[in-house]
Amino acid sequence: MSIRQTRFGMLPDGRAVHLFTFESDGGVKAGILNYGGIIQSLITLDRNGKPGQIGLGFETLGEYLAKRNFYGALVGRVANRIGGARFTLDGREYRLYQNENGGSLHGGKEGFNAKLWEANIDGERLRLDYVSGDGEENYPGTLSTTVWYSLLGDILKIDYEAKTDRTTIVNLTNHIFFNLNCCERDILAHEARIQADRYTPVDDKLIPTGEIASVEGTAMDFRAPKPIARDLEDIPEGYDHNYVFTRVNPGLEDWLVEVHDPDGGRTLKMATTEPCTQFYIGNFLDGSDRGLGGKSYQKRFGFCLEAQRYPDAINHSNFDSVVLNPGEVYSQTTMYQFAAR
């Protein structure tokens, strides 16, 4: 397996953006940008051996710059939502940029998704580095982050590491949208299984209430495989919820999520060291984005599995901490496996 580097475009300030293309013998092909760490393209085979684009994204850099919609991007410093766009750390209140319903979403005005990362090919891995200065987006501390992408046969692996020189908060993820039928239709017939017995309910602004609730007897229960559409009438706004895995998975022994497209047979599995994942089904897609292959990204034409720690954890003492102190190392690994049956 080799990594091929090509120029993808130029930022307004003249810096070059490159595309790094991975291709495995098993028919998986992934393209990664050093802008935003974006997974720009993801091609896998269906049950008949036909390749197809299962990731949502754009053909050009200009579209990514104009849209800022997180397709395939690294998200930080803090993924998901921070209620009221504020938090208190070591007795000091920090106010963040409000970019959704009075809260702060996915790192603020210009999060990690909109940064040019330093890129180096490290053997069979792509290494991306970014240093977020003290006070960037009003987060404290200088945060040095490294992300590695690798393609191991039929597995796309993402490793994250971050260190700080001052106490701060960190919760990183990747925001790739998947559509296993290659955007021929929405994802509601996809069958999903999520090994999570709890989730974190949200208010009308999609901010966690602080409760950690059981999925038992609710539409949130995906412990047994079911079509995404099956119980959707009970959640008319659509799934956009944080699921708490039934067990932690530090050794990545278990595939905690599996999604299958009955039509083409493509199957996606996810394993992660993180305690949670945000399951989102493209409720805010509206068809205005025309992406790869000229496909129009309509409502619910993609789903996300954002491996993460508890959202808005800094504002809920009963959630696991997302505080990172000097001398500590934030680390996370997430893997996606692609097959067909």
What is the per-residue DSSP string for 50-86?
A: -EEE-B---SSHHHHHHH---TT-EE-SB-SEEGGGE
Which residues have a Cβ under 8 Å from the Cβ of 46 and sit 6 or more positions away? 52, 264, 265, 266, 340
- Whether the per-residue pLDDT at 281 is higher than 80: the answer is yes
The average confidence (pLDDT) of the chain is: 97
- Whether the per-residue pLDDT at 166 is higher than 90: the answer is yes
Separation CA 16–CA 110 (nearest Å): 19
Would you give the DSSP letter of residue 328? -
CB 176 within 8 A of CB 37: no
Separation CA 173–CA 49 (nearest Å): 30
- Whether the per-residue pLDDT at 1 is higher than 80: the answer is no
User: What percentage of the chain reaches a pLDDT higher than 90?
Assistant: 96
How many CB atoms lie under 10 A from the CB of residue 207? 22
Top pLDDT among 253 and 95 is at 95
Would you give the DSSP letter of residue 202? B
Distance of CA 125 to the CA centre of its chain: 19
How wide is the angle at C-alpha 54 spanned by C-alphas 50 and 55, nearest 5°?
Answer: 150
3-188+280-340: CATH topology: Beta-galactosidase; Chain A, domain 5 (2.70.98)
Separation CA 299–CA 201 (nearest Å): 22
Give the pLDDT of residue 68.
Answer: 73
Question: Catalytic annotation on 306?
Answer: yes
What spatial distance separates the first Cα and last Cα of the chain, rounded to whole Å? 24
Which residue among 106, 175, 260, 316 is the active-site one? Answer: 175
pLDDT band per the 50, 70, 90 thresholds, residue 251: confident
Separation CA 120–CA 164 (nearest Å): 22
How many CB atoms lie under 10 A from the CB of residue 325? 10
Give the pLDDT of residue 249.
Answer: 84
| CA separation, residue 334 to residues 247, 283, 305, 316 (Å) | 15, 24, 10, 25
**Average pLDDT of the residues in 242-270:** 95
Which residue among 137, 258, 274, 306 is the active-site one? Answer: 306
Separation CA 30–CA 149 (nearest Å): 10
- Whether the per-residue pLDDT at 98 is higher than 90: the answer is yes
Separation CA 301–CA 286 (nearest Å): 9
Q: How many helices (H) and strands (E) does the chain have?
A: 1, 28
pLDDT band per the 50, 70, 90 thresholds, residue 48: very high
- Whether the per-residue pLDDT at 69 is higher than 90: the answer is no
Residue 119 is inside which H or E element, if any? strand 118-122
Question: Catalytic annotation on 175?
Answer: yes
Give the pLDDT of residue 106.
Answer: 97
How many CB atoms lie under 10 A from the CB of residue 250? 8
Give the pLDDT of residue 26.
Answer: 87
Separation CA 2–CA 125 (nearest Å): 9
**Average pLDDT of the residues in 96-106:** 96
